[in-house]
Every structure is written in structure tokens, then in C-alpha cells.
């Protein structure tokens, strides 16, 4: 029998199959990228702190919208000369009318007209500059002091930042999946860095998106505030994310520790006179914002008590602090034993 006949007589199922494609070589980069994508998906699972952050966002938007509707961002609805008196804008208009009926010297009339005109300009909520662009006077300053520097920076920004940062590693510990994560073929510093990279889109999205919504419902003062202050909010988010991720790697209940830190250091120490406030992250964010206000000739109410640093120094501290906190978190995460997970 010929070789061709022997080959033909072999059943098709007994013939050798095609050579399988070689499997790709193990790659630490692909493993790290897969961990980042997995962590992004896990961050999407809303937890208790995230729901609290969203509830605070709705409250802030509703509060600012009510104040905007009531015309609180300006002095045009203030009462003068006493609380039960007419509106300040009405009082200025009536005073201008009466002053125009009184016969005075041309110099005195010009002085009265200039003073009352200046007051009318100051209390107007919205003006236009020589290019026709909207310019916000007192409305912008009132919104910045009462909402941006007080409500948002002191309270909302730390709470929103810890919502995702404490869940990144703390959630793994609570769900008892951290031991599985540590058994992956990646070094602990790379795992920690992957967690930090994965939480940034969520933290930046919540903080910048929430800040944009709060500013949007405020009208012209809010739009100007967002255009000036969003870089400071972004850099502060990076610093807070690195800090609260460190809490998640070291403490068993990182959300509780982060909340205590936010109220004690950011609210209490952050508003104390002297140099104690410089241990808070919010202080340097305030300095960045005041740097943006320098062109508008605006400075802290009491610079001798606030003792601000220049914008370059504040930015360097926020960036350097983020890097230092990230490195410290990698070190602690590498040396901490997590076999005691509940």
C-alpha cells in the first residue's frame, strides 16, 4: 500500500490538530492595567459614603438655587438705612431723585451724583465691561465668601473626596477580597498605585462636577467662580485622594477617621489664626484661590491673621504633598499584614 493510501485511510479525527497560537508572555504592565480597570468597575458600586456625598450635592445645589432665586448674590436687595427700611437700590434711586431737586452748587451736585452713582454701581449684581462681557461685582464676592470658601472648600470638598478614596482599599478589606488582591502577581506598591489611579476619575468627576453644578445654579457669579477656581479644586482633590487612600490602607475604619480629620483639621484648625492652619490641605487651596483673585484686587479679610502664602508655593505644597502621601501609602501598604481581615 502506498503512503498516499495510508494517509487517506487515517480517520480525520486522528489527524494532528493545528498548532495552537502561543500564549502571550506574562506582562506586569497588562496585569497592572487590568487591575486599574477592575478597580474602576468596583468603584462604580455605590456605597454608603457615596450616597451621603450625593445627598450633600443635592442639598448644596438646592440651597444655592434658592439663594439665587431670592437674589442673595448682591447688595441690591439689602435694606437701608435700617433692616425694616426700603431696599438699598430703591433708597439710592429715591436719594438721587431728591438730590436732583435740591438746588446746590455745580460742584456739590457733581459730588452727590458721583457718590450715589458709585453706590449704585457697587450694589448692582451684574454689570458689563467695556467689551460687553458680563462682570460680577458684589454678587461674585458674596458667593465666593459664603459658598466657595466656606461651604464648599471647608465641608463639601473633603467629604466628597473621602467618599471614593476610603472605599478604594477600605472596601476591599470590608468585602474580604483584599487577600485575594494581594495574591496577584503584582508588587504591593503597584497595587496601591493602581488603586490611586482608579479612584481619581471618580473623585475628580464628583468634585469638579459637583462644583460646576453648584456654580451653574448661582448664575453669573457662579460661572465666574468656576472659571477661576476649578484648577484649585482639581489639585486639592488629588491631595485629599492621596491622604484618604492612605487612611484606607492603615486604618480599619478609614471613613470614620477621615470624617474626624475633616471636621477637626479642615474646619477647626483651617480657620484658626496663626500658622496652625498650615497643616490643613484647605489652607493651600484657599491660597490658590486668593491668587486668582489678586487681579481683581481682592485679598483675605485680615491678611495679618490669615497669613497666606503665594500661589506658586501653595501649588508646590499640594503637588509635593500628594507625592509624599502617595509614597508613604505605598510604604505602609507594603509592610502591613492584612491577614486579620474580618
pLDDT in tens, 7-20: 455 455 444 444 55
Q: How confident is the model at residue 202 (pLDDT cuts 50, 70, 90)?
A: very high
Residue 174 confidence (pLDDT): 73
Mean pLDDT of the chain: 78
- HSE on the CB side for 248, CA within 13 Å? 28
| All cell numbers assigned to 25 | 508572555
Question: What pLDDT digit, counting tens, does each position of 238-247 carry?
Answer: 999 999 999 9
Please name the helix (run of DSSP H) or strand (run of DSSP E) that holds residue 28, with its range, or none.
helix 28-43
More confident residue, 238 or 67: 238
Q: Are 181 and 175 in contact (CB under 8 A)?
A: no
Q: How confident is the model at residue 92 (pLDDT cuts 50, 70, 90)?
A: low
Q: How far from 339 is each of 16, 168, 173, 176, 251, CA to CA, in Å? A: 48, 18, 10, 10, 14
Q: Is this prediction's pTM over 0.85? A: no
Q: Percent helix, strand and coil across the chain, each rounded to 5? A: 75, 0, 25
List Cβ neighbours of 13 (8 Å cut-off, separation of 6 or more): none
Average pLDDT over residues 48-56: 87
The yes-or-no verdict on residue 119 having pLDDT over 70 is no
d(CA 290, CA 313) in angstroms, rounded, equals: 13
In the predicted model, is pLDDT for residue 249 greater than 80? Answer: yes
Q: Which ranges of 133-280 would DSSP assign to H, the alpha helix?
A: 138-143, 157-174, 178-182, 188-216, 220-250, 254-261
Q: What is the pLDDT of residue 331?
A: 93
Using one digit for the tens of pLDDT, what is the confidence trace for 205-230?
999 999 999 999 998 889 889 999 99
Angstrom distance (rounded) from CA 158 to CA 258: 9
233, 207 Cβ separation under 8 angstroms: yes
79, three cell numbers: 435694606
Amino acid at each position: 500500500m502506498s503512503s498516499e493510501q495510508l494517509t487517506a485511510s487515517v480517520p480525520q479525527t486522528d489527524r494532528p490538530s493545528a498548532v495552537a497560537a502561543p500564549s502571550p508572555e506574562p506582562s506586569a504592565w497588562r496585569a497592572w492595567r487590568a487591575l486599574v480597570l477592575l478597580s474602576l468597575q468596583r468603584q462604580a458600586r455605590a456605597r454608603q459614603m457615596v450616597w451621603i456625598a450625593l445627598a450633600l450635592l443635592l442639598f448644596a445645589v438646592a440651597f444655592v438655587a434658592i439663594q439665587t432665586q431670592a437674589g442673595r448674590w448682591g447688595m441690591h436687595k439689602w435694606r437701608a438705612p435700617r433692616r425694616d427700611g426700603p431696599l438699598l437700590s430703591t433708597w439710592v434711586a429715591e436719594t438721587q431723585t431728591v438730590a436732583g431737586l435740591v438746588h446746590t452748587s455745580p460742584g456739590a451736585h457733581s459730588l452727590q451724583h458721583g457718590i450715589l452713582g458709585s453706590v449704585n454701581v457697587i450694589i448692582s449684581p451684574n454689570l458689563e465691561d467695556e467689551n460687553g462681557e458680563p462682570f460680577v461685582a458684589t454678587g461674585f464676592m458674596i458667593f465666593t465668601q459664603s459658598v466657595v470658601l466656606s461651604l464648599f472648600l471647608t465641608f463639601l470638598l473633603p467629604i466628597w473626596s473621602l467618599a471614593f478614596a476610603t472605599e478604594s482599599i477600605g472596601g476591599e478589606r470590608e468585602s474580604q477580597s483584599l487577600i485575594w488582591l494581594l495574591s496577584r502577581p503584582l508588587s504591593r506598591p503597584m497595587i496601591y498605585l493602581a488603586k490611586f489611579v482608579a479612584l481619581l476619575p471618580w473623585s475628580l468627576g464628583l468634585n469638579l462636577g459637583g462644583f460646576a453644578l453648584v456654580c451653574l445654579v448661582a448664575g453669573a457669579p457662579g460661572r465666574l467662580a468656576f472659571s477661576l477656581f476649578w484648577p484649585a479644586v482639581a489639585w486639592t482633590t488629588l491631595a485629599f485622594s492621596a491622604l484618604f487612600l492612605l487612611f484606607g490602607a492603615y486604618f480599619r475604619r478609614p471613613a470614620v477617621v477621615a470624617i474626624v480629620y475633616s471636621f477637626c483639621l479642615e474646619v477647626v484648625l483651617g480657620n484658626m489664626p496663626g500658622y496652625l492652619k498650615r497643616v490643613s490641605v484647605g489652607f493651600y487651596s484657599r491660597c490658590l484661590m486668593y491668587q486668582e483673585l489678586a487681579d481683581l484686587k481682592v485679598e483675605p479679610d485680615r491678611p495679618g491673621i490669615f497669613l497666606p502664602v503665594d500661589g506658586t508655593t501653595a501649588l508646590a505644597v499640594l503637588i509635593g504633598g500628594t507625592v509624599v502621601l502617595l509614597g508613604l501609602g505605598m510604604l505602609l501598604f507594603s509592610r502591613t499584614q492584612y491577614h486579620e481581615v474580618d
